[in-house]
Structure 1
Amino acid sequence: MRIAHISDLHFSKISKGITQFFSKAWIGNLNLLFNRGYNFSPERPYALIEPLKQQNVTDIIISGDLTTTSSRAEFQLAEQFIDKLKEKGFQVYLIPGNHDHYTKRAHRRQRFYKHFPSKHSSDLPYNLADHGVTAKKLTLGWWLVLMDTTLATPLKSSNGYFSEKTEASLKKLLQDIPPQDKALLVNHFPFFQHDKPNRWLKRGTVLEELLQNQPKVQLFLHGHTHRRCVADLR
């Protein structure tokens, strides 16, 4: 098994509908026109496929923000890419990011989970959409734990929230993993508070403390920052 981690693909499609002005979608579309559209191309992620095959990657983890304004058209673009990865033989695991719950309507209708149902709970009875966490046994002694800390946020906010409910579910899930096994935890948001306050994971310090006292979690993967970094936090 060889795992690749990618994040924040931001598939985008500019909306011309007037309904965008009844949500924060118009901010995202404006950003697409003058900023983000130059940095993110719907075709660019496909260029990853052959190099990943050449590196003998078997499993791909995508840690959120598949879309930009969480529109149906963007989710369709993201779904086409995921289907192509699966067609090429990759096992794909993914979680939502804040841009996948960009509007209250998308969050309320659980649009992400309509396109990408939480199917990674076959080994333990946790569903990402309902419990905020789920798990999959990767190989002997190693588990993949996925977490959803997204929510619809106000106009100038891109926060996440490690809720009390998700905290309780994560603690219980980790207890259910055999004591000798190790876990790889994936969340869209980092737990450290090094960014602007309107981009923090709320209650991130609670998650950090939980992980410091939880030896099973050996690796923590995240997205959101758009920066490449590997840190040893032991």
Structure 2
Amino acid sequence: MAEIPSMRIAHCSDVHITEDYFALPLHRLGWRRWMALAELTVGGRARRYARAPQALAAIARDAQAAQVDHFILSGDLTAYALDAEFSGARQSLGALAEDPRRCTVIPGNHDVFTPGSHRTGRFAKYFGHLLESDLPEYRREGAFPFVRLLGTEAAVVGLLSARVPRTPGLSYGVIGEAQLGGLAALLKDARLEGRAILVVVHHAPLNPHGRPDRWHHGLRDADALLKLLPGPRYAVLHGHIHRRYHHPATADRPHVFGAGSSTESGHEGYWLIDVADGQVSGGQQQTPAL
């Protein structure tokens, strides 16, 4: 008999709310975004995400209608970290993003695309209230790792892997020894005993084929992360790779859920992930009602 889920989590990622770059003065964009204009035009990114605000709003509405217990967005809210893009993502999520009890959001590499966006805390301006922690003593790098205790069945742990790239085209991620040490310590905390642990990080520990991602795009300390999370009690929820997939847990490895790009035209979607008896029991792919 199938386990009856006691908790349901919605997971989306890489929503890439995109401003009209050609309506902005070039001097405001900076050289990194100048290079990205080719991706927006020739690469077709602007066209693929033209309706991203509407798609994200639909996902948020669906999640609330389904009465999910928690909503997770694992980074890349923006195209290239403009203030208006963060504002648009916040507006699309609406009331769902007002309460850390209901929503967890972490930054992706596109959300720290320029040194200025990182230095001025642009992500935190709109989503910093969602980085609160129920166990703040385990923070090791700014707000990370943060912990959200969900009822008595689950906990969400947020990690930071997104770093300002040295140059566009280098989009690998690093969690770092400090955060991994904090994660290792908090996993031993008695307040997490018996709970399913859902670890949210932007970069993918495994690609769709179950192998490490490319060196310039992947999570550099993926192995160290996965070794801390053995078995179906644990899941890693990520984005970055624009494909939606699930690697089930094994005895020595957690579930891995890649949410893909949830608002890309023709590929809109997200995960509903079930928790039962203190373990992650499975997930179903969903398409929003646009």
Structure 1-normalised TM-score?
0.87
Runs of 4+ in 1 over 6 A off after TM superposition: none
Query: 1:87-137: CA deviations, max 9, x gaps?
Result: 7xx922111111111111112222111221144313443458615210011
Match of 1:175 among 188, 202, 209: 188
Q: Which residue of 2 aligns with 1:161?
A: 174
Secondary structure in 2 aligned to 1:61? strand
Q: Distance in 2 between matches of 1:23 and 1:173?
A: 41
* Cα distance between partner residues in 2 of 1:81 and 1:223: 19
- Per the alignment, residue 84 of structure 2 pairs with 73
Q: Which runs of 5+ in 2 are unaligned?
A: 1-6, 251-290
Counterpart residue number, 2:244: 228
Question: Which sections of structure 1, spanning at least 5 residues, go unmatched?
Answer: none
2:218 is matched with 200
1:171 aligned counterpart, secondary structure: helix
Query: For the Cα contact (< 8 Å) 1:131–1:166, is it kept in 2?
Result: no
* Structure 2 CA distance for aligned equivalents of residues 144 and 98 of structure 1: 21
Distance across 2 between alignment mates of 1:131 and 1:58:
23
Is the 1:29–1:69 contact (alpha carbons within 8 Å) kept by the matching residues of 2?
Answer: no
> Is the alpha carbon distance of 1:50 and 1:182 closer, same or farther for their aligned partners in structure 2, counting shifts above 3 Å?
closer
Match of 2:8 in 1: 2
In 1: Cα distance, 2:186 partner to 2:232 partner: 11
Deviation at 1:6, TM superposition (A): 0.7
The residue type equivalent to 1:191 in the other structure is: P
Q: Measure, in 2, the Cα distance between the counterparts of 1:128 and 1:86.
A: 24
- CA deviations 1:69-92 (Å, max 9, x no partner) are 0011111111212334357xx922
Residue aligning to 2:93? 82
Distance 1:162 1:119 in 2: 16
- In 2, the alpha carbon distance for the partners of 1:232 and 1:27 equals 38
- Give secondary structure in 2 for the equivalent of 1:200: coil
Percent identity for Structure 1 against Structure 2: 29
Residue 18 of structure 2 corresponds to which residue in structure 1? 12
User: Partners of 1:221 and 1:173 in 2: how far apart?
Assistant: 18
Matched residues in 2 for 1:11 and 1:128: separation?
A: 30
Q: How does 1:33-182 map to 2 (within 5 A)?
A: 33-34=41-42, 35-40=44-49, 41=51, 42-86=53-97, 91-117=102-128, 118-126=130-138, 130-153=142-165, 154-176=167-189, 177-182=191-196
Q: Quote the offset at 1:140 in angstroms.
A: 0.9
Q: Of residues 170, 177, 188 in structure 1, which corresponds to 2:202?
A: 188
Query: In 1, distance between residues paired with 2:74 and 2:214?
Result: 20
Determine if contact 2:159/2:175 at 8 Å carries over to the other structure. Answer: no
Distance 1:19 1:211, change over 3 A: farther
Cα gap change, 1:57 to 1:68, in 2 (>3 Å): same
Structure 1 pair 50–78 and aligned structure 2 pair: CA distance change class (3 A): closer
Higher relative contact order (CA 8 A, sep 6+): 2
The verdict on how the C-alpha distance between 1:69 and 1:169 changes in structure 2, with shifts beyond 3 A counting, is: same
Q: Please give the root-mean-square deviation of Cα atoms over the aligned residues, in Å.
A: 2.5
Contact 2:138–2:185 (CA<8 Å) still a contact in 1? Answer: no
